[in-house]
Amino acid sequence: MSDSTASSPIASSQAAPDLQQSLRRDWMSVLARAEAAELERLWQALDEPAGHRLLRRPETGLVQLRGRIGGDGAPFNVGEAPVTRCSLVVEGERVGHAYVLGRDLRHAELAALLDALLQDPARRPRLLEAVIEPLRTTQAARRRARRRAAETTRVDFFTLVRGEASK
Amino acid sequence: MSVQTARPGDPSGLLRPGFAEPTLDAQRCFRILLDAMAHPGRIAELPVAIEPPPGLMAASAALCLTLLDAETPFWLDPAAAGAEAAAWLRFHCGCPLAADSRQAAFALVAGTAPDLTRFAEGDDLAPEASATLIWQVERLEESGPLVLTGPGIERKRALGLAPLAEGFLEAWAANGALFPCGLDLVLVCGGRLAALPRTTRIARRETDGED
């Protein structure tokens, strides 16, 4: 109880930017996880004028992945993964950024472009409906399918009564 | 109403692009700077089209993109450039902006005579740890009242630069006396540059002939 009363004034005073930020984080995440081909198809179907200016051309680099693969120890550098990033500006004021796993330059560019366009309140509802929601549905289905496939390999261990007792 | 980073008027919302060809342009500029350092006082033109942020000249912006990265703290003269240039540098170079000029590996200065004592001059064990200054001047030419001598110059070379305050030649001589420590200087004017490494000696011509 005391926790909720203490945090509520802070939450209400920053409600607008927080909401915006979590909203943007959400669509950026959906765009980054999308299949490049599906994103391209949805983008072509949109028929948006694609006038943008690249601030940072799509470029691929490596990021170090850290994890606790031992399950008990300190963070461990597991390996590296290629990440492609892109930044661009649309209509001179909206800056879109994208960081996408993999080496697909076009994917990063499209994700950055959609990030920039989604910041426009006038375009947002239409884009959320036409691009983000279909992508989210596909991703959820993909995740469900993977989980189902993994579930079939589950082994339930139980203890057998050993034979010696019967003698 | 819009997301924070896109607020009109926000310096980060009005970023300009960097090099058109990041790798090739940086290599080209680096080669030219290397040649300029090897031939002190010789003026070179940086062959890249770049739209610098307010306060930076084209050649300074190109040098920043060439030289700076996450491991080179940069000090930006508040008199030269403001928040938009700082945002541009952070975005394109990813360099930390040093609050203390002695921490900086590179610095951008403007005005009549940069205070050479406020930057790191290195020490005898690591003279390469000294700062390199990019000094933006309004006029830079290969003729004028200054006479350069030293390594990389066969006899002597003339240099004209403005604005130039009286105390600069003494400060530069003091900098040269620190050898092997000391600052290196890159003079920048628009898209052109000339280098003054720490070994170059500058004198004023005895007979005030031309200029």
A23 vs A27, A72, A111, B3, B92, CA distance in Å? 6, 34, 15, 9, 26
Omega within 30 of 0 (cis) for the link into B163: yes
Q: Find chain B residues with C-beta within 8 A of A116's C-beta.
A: 6
Q: Find chain A residues with C-beta within 8 A of B90's C-beta.
A: none
A37 vs A31, A34, A52, CA distance in Å? 12, 8, 21
Contacting residues for B44 by C-beta, under 8 A, at least 6 apart:
B32, B35, B36, B192, B193, B194
B21: closest chain A residue by CA: A57
Give the pLDDT band of residue B5 (cuts 50, 70, 90). Answer: very low
Please count the residue pairs, one from chain A and one from chain B, whose beta carbons lie less than 8 angstroms apart: 45
pLDDT digits (tens, 9 = 90+) for B123-156: 999 999 999 999 999 999 999 999 999 999 999 9
- ipTM over the 0.85 cut-off: no
Which domains does chain B show, CATH number per domain?
A: 21-197 (3.40.50.11310)
Is the Cβ pair B16, A55 closer than 8 Å? yes
Nearest Cα neighbor of A100 from A27, A44, A50, A29 is A29
Which of A53, A55, A121 is nearest residue B2 as measured by Cβ atoms? Answer: A121
pLDDT digits (tens, 9 = 90+) for B50-90: 989 999 999 999 999 999 999 999 999 988 888 889 999 99
Q: How far apart are CA B65 and CA A61, in angstroms?
A: 18
Which of A20, A23, A95 is nearest residue B15 as measured by Cβ atoms? Answer: A95
According to the model, what pLDDT value does residue B208 have?
A: 52
pLDDT tens by residue, chain A, 167 residues:
333 333 333 333 344 566 688 999 999 999 999 999 999 999 999 887 768 889 999 999 999 998 887 777 788 888 999 999 999 998 877 899 999 999 999 999 999 999 999 998 999 999 999 999 999 999 999 999 999 999 999 888 876 767 665 55
Which one has a higher pLDDT value, B159 or A18?
Answer: B159
Q: Find chain B residues with C-beta within 8 A of A23's C-beta.
A: 3
- What H or E segment, with its residue span, contains residue A114? helix A105-118
Q: Find chain B residues with C-beta within 8 A of A53's C-beta.
A: 17
